[in-house]
Each structure stands twice: as structure tokens, then as C-alpha cells.
Amino acid sequence: MEFTFLGRTALKVSRLCLGTMNFGPHTTEEDSYAIMDRAHELDINFFDTANVYGWKKGEGVTEQIIGRWFAQGGGRREKTVIATKVYGDMGDWPNESRLSALHIKKAAEDSLRRLQTDYIDIYQMHHIYRQAPWEEIWQAMEQLVREGKVLYVGSSNFAGWHIAKANEAAKSRYFLGLVSEQSLYNLNARMVEMEVIPACEDYGLGLIPWSPLAGGLLGGILKKIESGRRASEGVQKALETHRPKIEAYEAFCAEIGENPADVALAWLLHNPVVTAPIIGPRTLEQLDGSLRALEIKLDADALAKLDEIFPGPGGAAPESYAW
């Protein structure tokens, strides 16, 4: 396993991040334990979760599963850089969601209880909340850091100007500010190249791409369908829209002798701003298969071909749309 620094920090994390969103709804607790144990065997030390995962309002099902796994001991907590999130609805009362100072404090303490730990390595805002001034957000985050309950703060689904505004506000308070951004980013969804990636690069944030395989669209979907496997309704609709691209993509992957999923991850890892794509395996086999991406080195010709198939927005703004 390769390791890298998370953005401008001295925190070392694995180049693949274990996503846990399937734990509970799609992967049993026993199988979730096995996947997390195997991740440690593979030297994956970076796990991502959220208080809303498990999709039972207020219960934090996935965090609870991870917490019970931590409680087994054996260095599980100490070997894990755990990232969780705050923003989503955790109840029906007015202040049980979003980014008020009140909710940030309560959500953090509830996550700590469910995770059975006394600190969160990376506490991520799951979405921008325009009603909350940065003075309020940073005051709440600073308090959690002072208390030792949070070590680093990250964002998710922020625009580039949100990152800039957040970190300028943090700078004025002599606070570290955002150190990571978790964005939708894959070969078929490259809009973040216009503003978000340049902001991450300038402010020293590590980019953590979610949905690196576009929900399975980039994971060899055509071959799987041919073998009789059924894709989800969402992936089927996406395939209808993007079939020519996917046909060209899978043909290219076959030409270079690599699995489409591995090429999609390798393409993300080629970007120096990317810290670690989030992989969300449902099985041990899927987890083990992801490691091949670390070995693939795409040359200039391969990168040019992928740009031809998936053109993206044309690079960073403003040149992507102006002279």
C-alpha cells in the first residue's frame, strides 16, 4: 500500500479510502467486520463514514457498526484514520440537522459515542449550509479541536469559492481550516476540474473523490450485463445516455489488458491533488480487487485517449470557457 499526506497536513493516509456506506443496508455486520479487518491487513488505514449512513434517521447505523468493530480492540482504532460527517437530518426537531453551532456540537458528541472513540480524525461538513456564517461554524469546530474531540476539519460537496471563503475566514481566526474536500469526481463527472480542484491545490486540501466508478458505470458494466448480471435502475439510465463513451472506454481497457474499474481508479490516482478515492466494497473480493489500481501507471498516450473518450470541462476556469 502507498501512503500520502492528507493535503497540507502531516497526516499520512493510504492512497485508497475504505467507504463504509454499504455497512448495514447492504453488507451484514459480520461481513463489515471482515472487510475492515482485511483493509488493515492490506494496510488501508483511511476509513470514511457519515452519521446518516445506515439510513435510519438518528440511529447512525454504520457508525455503530464501526464502533463495535473498534471495541474489539487489537489496535483497530489506533490504526484507523476515521473520517465522519455532519449535516444530515438526525431527528425531527429544528436543530437536529445542518451546521448550527448547536448541531455541530451535539452531532460530534453523538458520533463519538456511536464510534466508541474519544476523537474523530477528520470531521467533514457533508454539504455547504449557506445560512450558517463561517464565524459560527469555525467557533464550533475550534471548540471541538480544543477539547480534543476533533483533529482536522474537512468539507464535502463544496464549490471552489466555498473552500476559499471558508479558509480565508479560518485564516483570520488563526485556525487551520479545511484540510480536505470530498467531491464527486470520476472520468464521467469532471466538473470539479474547473473550480474545486484549483481551490484545493491553492489552499492545500487533499481531494477525496466519491463515486470514483460512477455508481458502477465505469466498472465494466457492459461485460457484466452480457454475463447476465442486472445493473441498478440508475446505472441503466446512465448507460443509455453515455453508452458510446462506455463502449469506447471498455474497448480501450481491453486493449491495454486492464479491468475498467482499475483504470478508473488509476486515472484518479494520477492526479497529484487526489489523496485517495473512496472505494465502497460490498465483499472481500471487491476490496482485494481494488489494489490493482495502485500498480497501473497510465502513460501520456493512455491519458490522452481517456481525455478523448471523457473530455471533461476543458481544464480549470476561466480558460475552460474563456480565452
Name the residues annotated as catalytic.
53
Question: What is the dihedral sign for C-alpha 222, 223, 226, 230?
Answer: negative
Q: What is the CA radius of gyration of the chain?
A: 20
CB 202 within 8 A of CB 285: no
Inter-residue contact 51 to 97 (CB < 8 Å): no
Query: Residue 165: what residue type?
Result: K
For residue 198, which amino acid is it? P
Name residue 210's beta-bridge partners: 184
- Cα separations (Å) of 207 from 23, 158, 173, 185, 201? 23, 11, 24, 9, 9
d(CA 279, CA 16): 7
